[in-house]
Each structure stands twice: as C-alpha cells, then as structure tokens.
C-alpha cells in the first residue's frame, strides 16, 4: 500500500518562498527551496525564507533537495539551508547545476559561499536514480522562460507522484520547445497517483502559452530603430528573452554583453553545448563594451537587485555602464505586485537622462509559463487520482480547481492546502491534519545583513515605519560631568531625496534648531546628578519627529545612540570620537 505525507513550509497563499515536503516511510524529500525579495530593504529586511526548523530537527531523514526550474525564486533559500544540511544532494537539471554552482561561487552577499561547494547532482531527462534503494526518481524535460527545466516523477510501490513547477505545452513545430511531457505516462505506466503543480501567473489567460509569448518582433523593432547604446534590464531567470536578444544581435552584428557573472556562466554553457545555436555572436567583455557606441548591454539580476543596479547607473556610480545622448533603455520585465511604484520611478528617472528613449513590454505579451489550456491538457493527459496546486495565492488555487473540473476531473480530488497543513495518504484514504495540530512551524524567517531572525510584532511595526518614512540615525556624545552635549550628529536614511536643493536647505535649518535645543532638553533630564537616559531619548525623538513632520510630512523611525565620554576615556585612554557624517555634508 502507498502511505506518505505531504505538506508545505512555504509557497501556499503567497508569492514566493515555495518549499514542499514529501515524507515517505520516514524519509524526507524537499521540493524547491524558495525565497521572497521584498520591493524595498529600507525596513532592514532583505529576504524572506521558509522556517527550516522542521528540517533541522529531522536532518538525518532528509534524502535530497529537488529543484525543477532553477530560478532564484525557486532555489534562493539554499544558501541558508545548506548551513544545516551541507551534504544533502541537490538534484536539478544540467543547466541548474551550472547556475546554482555559479551562484554559490559569485554571490558576494554570502561570504561563506566562496569556500563552500554544494553537493549538486545533475539529472539528465528520462534518466532514473534510485535513492537509498527505496525511491526511484525520474526526470522529464520541461520548457518555460528558463528554457531548460525538469519535472520529477517519484515512484515507490506501484504508484507515482508527478511534480511540475513552470511548464508550457508545445503547440507548434518550434524545436526550441521539444519537451518530454508526453513521455511521463511511459515512465509511470499510467499509475499517476498525485500531481503537484504550480499554478502560475497566467491562470487567467484562456489559451495555451504558445505561441502567445512572442517577443522577437518587439526587440526587432527596437534594434532596427535605435542607433546608439541599447541597455536592457532583464530578470535573471528569463533565459528565453536572453536567447532571443542574442540571436537578434547576431543578425544585426551588434556587440553584445551580459552584466552578471552567474548569467554569463549559464549562457556560456548554453552556447558551448549548442542548446542555443549562436556561432557568430559578437560577444564582448563587459569591461570593453564602453568602446562601442552602437551595442546591446544586458543588465541581469533578480528583480530587487536589478533595481539596485539601475539606481547605481542613474546616479553615475557605475564604472562600466553609463547613459548617453540618444541611448535606449528597455525594461524587459512584466509588472510585479509591490514593485509598481519603484519600477515606474526608475523608468521615469532614466527617461529624464540625456534624452534616453525608454521601452516597456507590451501588455499583450505574456510570461512563458502555463496558461489555462496548458493546465487542462496536462490533467487530461496524465489523469491523476489527486491534485495539489502549489506555489500561489489561495484565490488562484480556487480558479485552478474550477478550471480542471471542466475536464471532468472531480472537484473533491483537488486538495487545497495551506502552509503547515499535512495531508496523509494512508491505504488510499486521505486525512487532512489542521495547522494547529500539525506542529509544523511555518513562521517565515526575515533575513537582514547579519543573518536571519524572527521579527516580533513591535519590530514589524518599526520595519513598516522605516519602509514608508525611512529612519534618522542620531549620535550623541555627552560629557557626564559637565552635563553637556559635546558632539551631535544625525543621518537621515530613506526619508527624502538628499540631492534636492530645497531639502538640503531644510536639513541645514533642522540641524541649527536641533543644535540649539539639545542642551536645553538635556537640562530637563538631570535627576540628582544622574542622567535619565530613557526619558532623554524619548524627548530627543519627539523633537526630531516634530521637525521632520513639519518640514517633510514624514514620521521616520528615530534610532539614537548615546555615549558618555568620561566612562569611555576610563576604559580606553586612546579613544577618539569620530561622529557620523550625514549624507548632506559628504
């Protein structure tokens, strides 16, 4: 009999940090290890990952991590999971191995990665691997915007579990998309017990993805009209767009470079192994691209990091890439919830530079991933007994359920679950264990620069305040004996545009007012020769917030550091006070 459990540590009723757990005979198989990158890191939160406590507590039982579409959103959590599971094999496609290996090698945010080589196993399509003599895992090739993904068939006993994340069903003779989904029934011998499938952002699109993903004409029009540098911003996972752009560059004989080492490594693999046939591509080193007036520069990163790179270019701080008169800029990403304002601001700022022409993707071009007809086709082809939709919002799970019932699939056999909810399959019977009884910790981990921590309610409120109104860092050096402030500085972060002349003038005025008020405030909080530090901090905060509200309409988070000079001198005789420099005066 087939007995197993399935649950999710992340990805259910949310966009990102997908992580599913397949538990068979006390062996654990991890499907994806995702991440969320918030639109802004002003709050101090750079990334969000699933809670790995369950995996830490049961690490001896973990047999493998399986990554289908090797995009950052699907594997970004690995850099933290490998801390506790350093030797567990990571199974993925050959391209996935190149990408993840390069990621660990080149990722400067994770310094430990430079000395760490993950245990990555590349699986060829239609090849099977036996894990611990119990579980047979067979892969099949899938296509999407990543070009070369894989799905997994887990076979134990007489039944099979099929896992998809992103896919399309080829409906044309395009050799680019000759995948192997039609081989799945041969692998499973039609014993398809459970289908695990990502819903995808095209769930509302009533067609197949092919051929409606066409992007060639859009870029072709730009290349034929623009005669200077063309800078293209591209999501790191969209290797299909990258291949189309490279092919057009070959046809137009346009010098071409990629600004991202990991993507360069992956693209080199694609060209070398003739997955993409580009024998005469005029590929130029990024260091040399500035020597060409008419060229194509592709800036590649995941969305949050891409925006940071563009901000650096706009400010003129990038050594290799600069905008010039009559350049063109293409923002080749579709809009994502939470990033709308940031992206619009970036494009608006670029359009003001040196008469740069800006382009965005047409709204009728869809992401190269599963649409409604793709989903229906897969269900009709595989005829699984049960389906669990994964990696999306609950409302899209409901839409998926309604969609597949049009193929005469039973609605009761589409299992909609939340993070932490366990589904037990015992003797062909299903038991759903509520989240409260599952004892699975699902509180996400919020990652800051120094590692990941839990954020409690009060900290979340502060983070939200920082995200909306920024923060002001204040440093005070107080002479305890004289009861005077001898050094005072403040540093506004993310509050206002510091390059604006009116804002500069207002900050000068605030600085003058605060310098005059600080010692007055200090005198109020001396109690029998002792300074009441907590009350002193609260009063300083009120004064600064009042001034910022009056001048800028903002209520920033105030972070104060108070140092007393006499106690420090006693501990370190050679100590020298070095005040913080405000960006205003840099």
Q: What is the pLDDT of residues 76-132, one digit of tens each?
A: 999 889 988 989 999 999 999 999 998 888 764 444 545 667 899 999 999 999 998
User: CB-based contacts of 532: which residues, under 8 Å, 6+ apart?
Assistant: 525, 526
DSSP letter at 302 equals -
Residue 114: the pLDDT is: 52
Work out the average pLDDT over 160-183: 77
* Confidence (pLDDT) at 525: 66
- Least Cα distance to 236 among 211, 212, 275, 267 occurs for 267
Do the Cβ atoms of 393 and 419 come closer than 8 Å? no
Contacts of residue 264, Cβ cutoff 8 Å, sequence gap at least 6:
258
* 449 pLDDT more than 70: no
Beta strands in 443-494 (DSSP E): 445-448, 451-453, 471-479, 484-493
pLDDT of residue 220: 95
Residue 380: its H or E element: helix 372-382
pLDDT at site 566: 54
Can you tell me the mean pLDDT for 520-531?
62
pLDDT at 572 over 50: no
Using DSSP's 3-state secondary structure scheme, residue 536 falls into helix
Residue 243 to residue 174: CA distance in whole angstroms = 14
**More confident of the two residues 308 and 498:** 308
Report the C-alpha gap between 304 and 563 in whole angstroms: 36
**pLDDT confidence bin for 547, thresholds 50/70/90:** confident
At 212 the three-state DSSP class reads coil
* pLDDT for residue 23 is more than 50: yes
Q: What angle do CA 430, 432, 434 make, to 5 degrees?
A: 170
Element spanning 298, H or E: strand 296-301
Q: pLDDT for 324-341, tens place per residue?
A: 888 999 999 988 877 888
pLDDT exceeds 80 at position 465: no
CB-CB contact of 525 with 535 (8 Å): yes
3-state SS, residue 243: helix
Residue 450 has pLDDT above 60, yes or no: no
Rounded CA-CA distance 193/185 in Å is: 12
Helix and strand numbers (H, E) in the chain are: 17, 27
CA 209 vs CA 146, 167, 171, 499: distances in Å: 14, 9, 9, 45
* End-to-end Cα spacing for the chain: 71
Q: Which residues contact 121 (CB under 8 A, 6 or more apart)?
A: 89, 90, 91, 92, 97, 129
- Between CA 34 and CA 17 the distance in angstroms is 4
List, in sequence order, the alpha helices (H) in 145-278.
Answer: 184-188, 216-225, 239-252, 261-272
pLDDT of residue 351: 84
Q: What's the angle, vertex CA 86, arms to CA 82 and CA 87, rounded to 5? A: 135
- The answer to whether the CB of 165 falls within 8 A of the CB of 149 is yes
Q: Give the side-chain half-sphere CA count within 13 A for 106.
A: 15
Domains present along the chain, CATH in parentheses: 4-208+367-448 (3.60.15.10), 216-360 (3.40.50.10710), 470-585 (3.10.20.580)
Q: What is the mean pLDDT of residues 486-491?
A: 74
**Which DSSP letter does residue 364 get?**
T
Q: Which of 35-44, 288-297, 416-425 has the lowest mean pLDDT?
A: 35-44
- The residue ranking higher by pLDDT, 101 or 576, is 101
Which residues are paired to 478 by β-bridges?
Answer: 485, 564
Q: Tokens for 180, please give them.
A: 């192997």
Cα separation, 548 vs 211, in Å, equals 54
Per-residue pLDDT at 582: 39
Q: What is the mean pLDDT of residues 394-421?
A: 95
> 23 CB contacts (<8 Å, ≥6 apart)?
4, 5, 6, 7, 29
Distance in angstroms (rounded) separating the CA atoms of residues 579 and 255:
48
Q: Could you tell me what percentage of the chain is helix, strand and coil, using 3-state DSSP and rounding each to the nearest 5?
A: 35, 25, 40
**What is the rounded CA–CA span in Å between residue 445 and residue 423?**
24
- Percentage of the chain exceeding pLDDT 90: 45
Q: Which of 35-44, 178-187, 219-228, 509-518 has the highest mean pLDDT?
A: 219-228
- Give the residue among 15, 34, 554, 38 at the shortest CA–CA distance from 308: 38
**Average pLDDT, stretch 214-222?**
91
Round the average pLDDT of the chain to a whole number and report it: 83
Lowest mean pLDDT among 19-28, 451-460, 472-481: 451-460
Question: Between residues 449 and 585, which one has the greater pLDDT?
Answer: 449
Average pLDDT of 143-172?
A: 89
Q: What is the pLDDT of residue 243?
A: 93
> In the structure, what pLDDT confidence band is assigned to residue 459 with cuts at 50, 70 and 90?
low
CB-based burial, 283-317: b 16+ in 10 Å, e otherwise: bbebeebbebeebbbbbbbbbbbbbebbeebbeee
Q: Which of 435, 437, 394 is nearest to 414 (CA)?
A: 394
pLDDT at residue 276, as a whole number: 87
Q: How confident is the model at residue 143 (pLDDT cuts 50, 70, 90)?
A: confident
| Of 459 and 306, the one with more pLDDT | 306
């Amino acid at each position: 009999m087939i007995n197993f459990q399935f649950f999710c540590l992340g990805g259910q009723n949310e966009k990102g940090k997908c992580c599913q757990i397949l538990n068979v005979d006390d062996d654990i198989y991890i499907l994806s290890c995702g991440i969320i990158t918030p639109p802004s890191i002003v709050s101090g939160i750079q990334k969000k990952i699933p809670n790995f406590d369950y995996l830490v507590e049961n690490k001896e039982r973990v047999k493998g991590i399986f990554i289908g579409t090797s995009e950052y959103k699907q594997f970004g959590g690995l850099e933290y999971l490998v801390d506790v599971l350093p030797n567990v094999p990571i199974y993925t496609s050959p391209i996935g191995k190149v990408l993840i290996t390069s990621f660990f090698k080149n990722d400067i945010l994770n310094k430990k990665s430079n000395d760490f080589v993950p245990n990555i196993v590349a699986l060829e399509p239609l090849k099977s691997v036996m894990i611990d003599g119990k579980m047979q895992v067979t892969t099949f090739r899938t296509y999407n915007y990543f070009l070369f993904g894989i799905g997994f068939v887990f076979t134990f006993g007489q039944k099979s579990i099929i896992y998809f994340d992103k896919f399309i069903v080829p409906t044309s003779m395009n050799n680019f998309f000759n995948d192997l989904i039609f081989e799945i029934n041969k692998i499973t011998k039609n014993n398809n017990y459970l289908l695990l499938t990502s819903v995808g952002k095209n769930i509302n699109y009533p067609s197949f993805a092919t051929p409606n993903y066409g992007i060639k004409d859009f870029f072709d029009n730009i290349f034929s009209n623009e005669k200077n540098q063309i800078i293209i911003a591209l999501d790191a996972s969209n290797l299909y767009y990258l291949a189309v752009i490279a092919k057009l560059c070959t046809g137009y004989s346009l010098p071409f470079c990629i600004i991202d080492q990991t993507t360069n490594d992956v693209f080199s693999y694609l060209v070398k192994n003739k997955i993409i046939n580009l024998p005469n591509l005029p590929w130029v080193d990024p260091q040399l691209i500035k020597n060409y007036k008419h060229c194509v520069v592709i800036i590649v990163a995941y969305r949050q990091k891409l925006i940071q790179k563009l901000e650096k270019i706009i400010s003129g701080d990038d050594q290799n890439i600069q905008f010039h008169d009559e350049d063109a800029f293409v923002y080749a990403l579709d809009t994502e919830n939470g990033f709308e304002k940031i992206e619009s601001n970036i494009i608006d700022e670029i359009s003001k530079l040196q008469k740069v022409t800006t382009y965005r993707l047409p709204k009728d071009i869809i992401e190269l991933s599963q649409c409604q007809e793709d989903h229906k086709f897969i269900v009709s082809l595989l005829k699984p007994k049960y389906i669990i939709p994964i990696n999306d919002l609950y409302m899209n799970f409901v839409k998926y359920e309604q969609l597949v019932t049009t193929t005469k699939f039973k609605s009761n056999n589409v299992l909609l679950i939340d993070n932490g909810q366990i589904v037990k399959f015992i003797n062909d019977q299903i038991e759903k264990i509520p989240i409260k009884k599952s004892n699975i910790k699902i509180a996400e981990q919020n990652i800051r620069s120094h590692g990941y921590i839990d954020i409690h309610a009060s900290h979340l409120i502060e983070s939200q305040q920082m995200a909306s109104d920024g923060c002001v860092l204040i440093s005070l050096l107080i002479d305890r004996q004289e009861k005077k402030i001898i050094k005072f500085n403040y540093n506004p972060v993310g509050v206002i545009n510091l390059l604006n002349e009116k804002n500069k003038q207002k900050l000068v005025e605030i600085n003058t007012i605060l310098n005059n008020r600080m010692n007055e405030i200090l005198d109020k909080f001396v109690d029998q020769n002792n300074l009441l530090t907590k009350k002193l901090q609260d009063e300083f905060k009120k004064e600064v917030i009042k001034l910022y509200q009056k001048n800028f309409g903002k209520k920033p988070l105030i972070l104060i550091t108070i140092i007393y000079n006499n106690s420090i001198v006693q501990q370190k005789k050679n100590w020298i006070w070095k005040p913080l420099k405000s960006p205003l005066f840099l």
